[in-house]
């Protein structure tokens, strides 16, 4: 079997025209808008796309793109598109490469062949890392991409996002780009990922506080994003004000416990740390166990908060949470992490 990938040329003839016609309007995200042109229009089609490959006469939202034909044993069987670089729209919807096989030649592995040849062309053009998208339900394309060594790194809104590194020496990690920023929140894009961060903090602390009487301290406040009161562990931000810059996390935990519950702790012991929402933010929460509690204040939070403090006997926490849930409150799941550390088990 002789396989050849040919770049579009002004000398292409009727066999290419007939393949474009057979492919039709396209499917699974691949667009073939010129499938219904007359053969008299074919020379203008070739001239137009040769110019596009050179970056000439492009619409503002378009990038240079080269079309290729896959020939097998002298017959054109596939159409491929290679975009020389990406803009924001292409990063979401199309990626660098699109391809299709004419219906009369399908089922013979030509999809794997054309993608392999297009990847070679991308490397020859100096593209260090290729992005390719396909519909989540397009199982055939997913197999073709995997067979060519592409890596699936995200599925979002019904689309699969694949990448393949072509030249590891020249591949630079994506640089963070600030999309928007307000007083407290910053929205960042890094490669294909968008996430939020709070630029003026150095961490988050949560406190598992158990009184000498065996009661777990919980706090309740109305949370605007979920439009409901939420039952939570005492928690707060580290270094979120100029006067707290550089404070140790343990000190922040003591401060937040006093501020929200009115209790001071004789001992503050590290339990664990990890990301509370790794797909949304890079923040990491550190959880402490507070012992030797003594009440020294009223609690309730600062002037911007309206916090209610609950002291619940440890053996009644599950039933109390269920009761509050039935009354319309929501429960922060980190409470169950606290129960695991305190009792070694969590009820379903």
Residue environment code for 37-59, b if the CB has 16+ CB neighbours within 10 A, otherwise e: eeeeebeebbeebbebbeeeeee
Q: Which of 57-61, 184-188, 309-313 has the lowest mean pLDDT?
A: 57-61
Mean of pLDDT values over 38-46: 96
Query: Given this model, what pLDDT does residue 172 score?
Result: 57
The CATH number of the domain where 227 resides is what? 3.90.79.10
Q: Same domain for 156 and 12?
A: yes
Half-sphere exposure of 56 (CA within 13 A, CB side): 6
- Name the burial class of residue 94, with classes exposed (0-12), middle (13-18) and buried (19+) by CB atoms within 10 angstroms of its CB: buried
Report pLDDT for 268.
Answer: 95
Confirm whether 57 is domain-assigned: yes
Reading the block at residue 69, the tokens are 């034909």
> What average pLDDT does this structure show over 256-270?
95
**Could you tell me if 141 and 9 lie in one domain?**
yes
Active site residues: 305
pLDDT recorded at residue 210: 95
Are residues 249 and 156 both part of a single domain?
no
Q: 279: domain range?
A: 203-343
Q: What is the pLDDT of residue 174?
A: 67
Domain boundary (146, 165, 184) is at 165
Q: In angstroms, what is the C-alpha Rg of the chain? A: 29
Q: Does residue 101 register a pLDDT over 90?
A: yes
Q: Write phi, then psi, for 165 (nearest 5 degrees).
A: -80, 125
Q: Tell me, yes or no, whether 108 and 227 share the same domain.
A: no
Q: Is residue 348 in some structural domain? A: no
Contacts of 113 (CB under 8 A, 6+ apart): 3, 70, 72, 78
Q: In what order do the strands lie in the sheet with 203-209?
A: 235-238, 203-209, 285-295, 263-274
* % of the chain at pLDDT higher than 90: 79
Predicted confidence at residue 347, as pLDDT, reads: 54
* Same domain (yes/no): 42, 157: yes
Looking up residue 64, the CATH number of its domain turns out to be 3.40.630.30
The gap between the terminal CA atoms of the chain, to the nearest Å, is 60
Find, among 167, 173, 100, 101, the residue nearest to 130 by Cα.
167
Is residue 83 situated within a structural domain? yes
Q: Taking 80 as the threshold, does the pLDDT of residue 97 lie above it?
A: yes
**Structural element, H or E, at residue 334:** helix 334-343
| Structural domain includes residue 160 | yes
Q: Which helix (H) or strand (E) holds 111?
A: helix 110-124
- Displacement of CA 43 from its chain's centroid (Å): 43
- 182-217 pLDDT tens trace: 999 999 988 778 999 998 898 999 999 999 999 999
For residues 210-247, one letter each, b for 16 or more C-beta atoms within 10 angstroms of the residue's C-beta and e for the rest, the string is bbeeebbbbbbeeeeeeeebbbbbbbbbbbbeeebeeb
Is the same domain home to 161 and 277? no
**Those residues with Cβ within 8 angstroms of residue 229's Cβ, 6 or more apart along the chain or in another chain:** 220, 221, 222, 223, 328, 329, 330
Encode pLDDT of 9-40 as tens digits: 999 999 999 999 999 998 887 888 888 999 99
The answer to whether 180 and 196 are in contact (CB under 8 A) is: no
Task: Judge if 142 and 44 occupy the same domain.
Answer: yes
Choice among 87-91, 190-194, 235-239, 329-333 with the minimum mean pLDDT:
190-194
Q: Please indicate, yes or no, whether residues 106 and 55 belong to a single structural domain of this protein.
A: yes
CA dihedral 98, 104, 108, 110 (to 10 degrees): -30
The reply to whether 178 falls in a domain is no
**Does 120 lie in the same domain as 34?**
yes
- 189 in any annotated domain: no
The pLDDT of residue 33 is: 86
Mean pLDDT of 209-238: 96
Q: Is the dihedral of CA 38, 43, 46, 52 positive or negative?
A: negative
Summarize the confidence of residues 73-93 as an average pLDDT.
93
Dmax over CA atoms of the chain, in Å, equals: 90
Domain's final residue, options 135, 165, 195: 165
What mean pLDDT comes out for the span 287-305? Answer: 91
Q: Which of 8-12, 265-269, 296-300 has the lowest mean pLDDT?
A: 296-300
Residue 250 lies in a domain: yes
Question: What is the number of structural domains in the chain?
Answer: 2
127-167: pLDDT as tens digits: 999 999 999 999 999 999 999 999 999 999 999 999 999 87
Q: Does residue 109 share a domain with residue 24? A: yes
Same domain, 227 and 287: yes
> Where does a domain end: 165, 195, 216?
165
Backbone angles phi, psi at 220, to 5 degrees: -135, 135
Label residue 345 by pLDDT band (50, 70, 90). low
Give the pLDDT confidence score for residue 344 in this predicted structure.
Answer: 76
Residues 78 and 111: beta-carbon distance below 8 Å: yes
Q: Is residue 235 part of a domain?
A: yes
In the predicted model, what is the mean pLDDT of residues 285-302? 93
Looking at every residue in the chain, the average pLDDT score rounds to 92
Residue 185 makes CB contacts below 8 A (sequence gap 6+) with: 196, 197, 198
For residues 148 and 210, membership in a common domain is answered with no
pLDDT at 232 (0 to 100): 97
Choose the weakest-confidence range: 163-167, 169-173, 210-214, 247-251: 169-173
Q: Would you state the pLDDT for residue 346?
A: 52
Indicate if the pLDDT at residue 250 is higher than 90: yes
């Amino acid at each position: 079997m002789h396989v050849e990938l040919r770049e579009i040329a002004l000398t292409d003839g009727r066999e290419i025209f007939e393949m474009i016609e057979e492919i039709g309007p396209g499917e699974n995200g691949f667009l073939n808008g010129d499938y219904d042109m007359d053969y008299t229009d074919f020379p203008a089609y070739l001239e137009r796309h040769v110019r596009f490959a050179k970056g000439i006469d492009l619409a503002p939202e378009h990038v240079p793109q080269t079309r290729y034909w896959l020939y097998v044993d002298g017959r054109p069987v596939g159409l491929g598109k290679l975009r020389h670089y990406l803009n924001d729209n292409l990063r979401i919807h199309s990626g660098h490469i699109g391809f299709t096989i004419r219906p009369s030649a399908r089922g013979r592995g030509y999809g794997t062949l054309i993608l392999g040849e297009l990847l070679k062309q991308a490397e020859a053009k100096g593209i260090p890392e290729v992005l390719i998208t396909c519909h989540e339900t397009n199982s055939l394309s997913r197999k073709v991409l995997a067979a060519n060594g592409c890596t699936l790194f995200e599925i979002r809104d019904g689309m699969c996002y694949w990448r393949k590194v072509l030249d590891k020496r020249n591949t630079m990690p994506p640089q963070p780009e600030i999309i928007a920023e307000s007083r407290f929140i910053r929205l960042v894009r890094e490669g294909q990922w968008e996430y939020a961060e709070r630029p003026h903090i150095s961490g988050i602390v949560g406190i598992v506080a158990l009184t000498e009487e065996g009661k777990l301290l919980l706090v309740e406040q109305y949370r605007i994003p979920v439009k409901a009161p939420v039952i939570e562990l005492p928690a707060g931000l580290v270094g979120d004000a100029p006067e707290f810059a550089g404070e140790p996390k343990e000190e922040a935990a003591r401060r937040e416990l006093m501020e929200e519950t009115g209790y001071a702790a004789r001992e503050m012991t590290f339990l664990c740390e990890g990301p509370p929402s790794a797909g949304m933010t890079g923040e990491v929460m550190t959880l402490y166990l507070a012992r030797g509690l003594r009440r020294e204040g009223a609690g309730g939070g600062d002037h911007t908060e309206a916090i209610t403090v609950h002291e619940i006997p440890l053996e009644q926490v599950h039933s109390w949470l269920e009761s509050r849930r039935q009354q319309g409150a929501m429960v922060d799941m980190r409470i169950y992490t606290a129960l695991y550390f305190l009792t070694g088990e969590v009820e379903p």
